[in-house]
Structure 1
Amino acid sequence: MQEVAAGYQALFTCSAHFVAQRELADIIDVELADMAEFDLPPPEIDQQRQLVRARDGKGFTAIAAYRPSVGCTLLPPTWTEADVGRLPYISLPAAPSLDSVAFPSGDKADVKPDRQARALLNQAFDRQTFGEDTVTVGIAIVHKGKLVAEQYRKGFGIHSGYRTWSTAKSISATLMGIAAKDGLIDINAPANIPEWRFFNDPRQAITYEHLLHMSSGLYSQGANTNAMYFAGQDVISAATTTHLEAEPNTRWKYANNDTLLLLRGLRATLDDDLAYLRYPYDKLFHRIGMYHTRMEMDHQGNFIGSSQVYTTARDLARFGLLYLNKGIWEGQQILPVGWTDYAAKAAPALPRSPGKRGYGAQFWLLDSLPGVPAGTYTSAGNKGQFVTIIPSQEMVIVRTGVDPNGKTWALDKFVNAAIEVFGEE
């Protein structure tokens, strides 16, 4: 466990510092707060080599390496700093200056919250109103295409961000929607997983739709991905080696591996590593102005798309607007017609229950919660990362946070409060 904790420290410090331009002291106070119990030495930032080293106190050093276009990658335990040059890499243009271009295409936004709006924003950061001891990093609220409210914790801003955790799953599903529109995949067809091509492998019955609905039937235990997230294991060996324990589409079980297998299928189908590494940027991020988003990968060039995306509240607001606008961006159909409705349609293996969240295609469904409007759905990530789409109100609500373990942001309560301030009857 000490080695995993060291890997956590190395990776989070690397992304927070080099991707989000944040200082080590605040990273230790915020991102690494849950690691305090392990009493590890503070991580070391190597500015010249763009590395972070984190020691477990027992002789092991975890190393995370930063590359400007792709973010940070945790090296496997058998690699040394001399191996950084082996990491897959792509070159991407620097983010353009969009200060004079109006939001959402650019960063110019005339946000003038009134007294009620300011009060709501202050409550979002007071660590009490919407969840005791919760820690909000950023709030961005869009109504009818206009940014109407925005606020950040000290040390964060419009171009600095945080890890999405499982909000990345909704982003990964979006890439699959684009691939379907491009004719690369059929979501009703078996997932293209090369490791399952053995004769009579029962996992060949798993379709992309089963994976989108978290209904693969594959074995999983808890997150089942700590070794990959924080100990340098590769995605393929982590996600493709679990056995089938239920018939596909007969059981709903939240599992990181289902999301990772979607991206494994996409990479195998593209059969072009460069095209795969560019896919999120060329097909989604840069098309809708998400220039401050990085989808990080393992040491073999597989996106860790179940959790490891670094982005900003404004970029997430753009992502939410794409869904609010039925997959259309500036007149261009980015997603397949009907995809946003599909994302918000309940998975067959998880019947809806009053007062409980439902699940669609890598999005959570909120409209069974008290007071939440019909059709409301959201991404959801650990420690409080939410992109909530409310079609009936033409509203997108982004909340990012670093909530301590065991603390829960009251999303439904905040949604209702935001509608009261910004929505319409």
Structure 2
Amino acid sequence: MEEASGFRALLNLEEPKYSIEQIAARTGKSPAYVAARLKLTELAPAVVEAFHREEIGVGHALLLAKLLPEQQEQALAACFKEVYSGGSEKPARILLPVRQLRFWIESNILLMLKLAPFDKRDTQLVPAAGSCVDCPKRTGHNKLLFSDMGKQDACTDPTCYHAKVDAHVAKSIAAKPKLVQISTAYGQQQEGSATLPRNRYIEIRPEKPATKEEATRPEFKTCKYTIEAIISDGIDKGEFRKVCTEANCPVHHPKKRPHQIADDSKWKAEQEKQRKEQAIANTTGIRILAAITAAVPVRLMKRDLLFVVERLASLLDENRLAIIARQHGIKKAKESDSIGKLFTAYLRRAEECELGRILVEITIIHAATRQNATQVLRDAATVYKVDVDAIGLKVKQEFSAKEKVKVAKRTTAQAVPQKAKKSA
């Protein structure tokens, strides 16, 4: 920071007057190096404070300095990751690598101007902003500071960029009142909105089909209903597309033939079969795990077990931790409760035998995430003499019984309207 202040002092001299290039020549640095350091003197106070407290490094500060003041604090938060460990109530802040901050900035702030749907030379699109060509907030305007961008030119002001996209959409619709407005998101069309959701139109692909199979697809065909549209909501907002919005179009919405309906039914049946098989496998695995943990003997003292279990539990993701918590009857009383905190509290109340079982349970789950889960369970079952086949059979029987109840209910529900018709 002292170096940056020195460069700034030289640049601010009235006599002799120095340019960035002259300062670079005198100090033996590159002009890009000097330009980057000079920006450090324009850091937001919160960023400067974080730097002086050594919470962030020079690399982070240099990236943050390239941003607009109002963006720096938001980007500063992206420098860290909060991690809960053990029984701590407050998360620990971990500084992320510079490359991750760069990725965050590229993903959330920098917008490539070559992809902009609007005319970058238009000075009247948003009069207060002027044209992008003359804008000092684009990276191409300051090539010394953004030397790492190469020939790419990006906007560093997302608010201004999106305002221009909105203005471009409004201008296009005003010029072509019949222009169809579309969204790239699926869902229901909002009441009073002219924007059609993605499931209400077929987008016509502009490129030629690469194969004969592609040529048969509806999206590669045009029809008499093909019309120009503009994306007014979602990804690629402001871009023009060719679409078909006619629900009865024989090209893009052909009626299904009997064999196609049969294929759909077959596919749905297969999906349902796979879902049931997965549910049975999951339930069987959980039962086997419970049986194994019940067979674990007590060996270590409570303090030893608690230490090991807490450390291992902190390595589990929330979903797997929730599985173990459910096994031990731990539930959230309210949505804001932390399953991690509830589980830690449970561990500290548990006796040695219970901690021993949980230790084996967590170890198995950890191993199952890195190896063949079925084999891990079977190996553990062998050690603790758990009958895997018996558990699997029982789970299948339970699922079969539930399925019979569902079928019976459906049959009853269908029979009631028929009786009502006969009596009428």
TM-score, normalisation: structure 1: 0.19
Higher helix share: 2
Structure number with higher strand proportion: 1
- TM-score, normalised with respect to structure 2: 0.19
Which structure has the larger Rg?
A: 2
Larger RCO, structure (CA 8 Å, separation 6 or more): 1
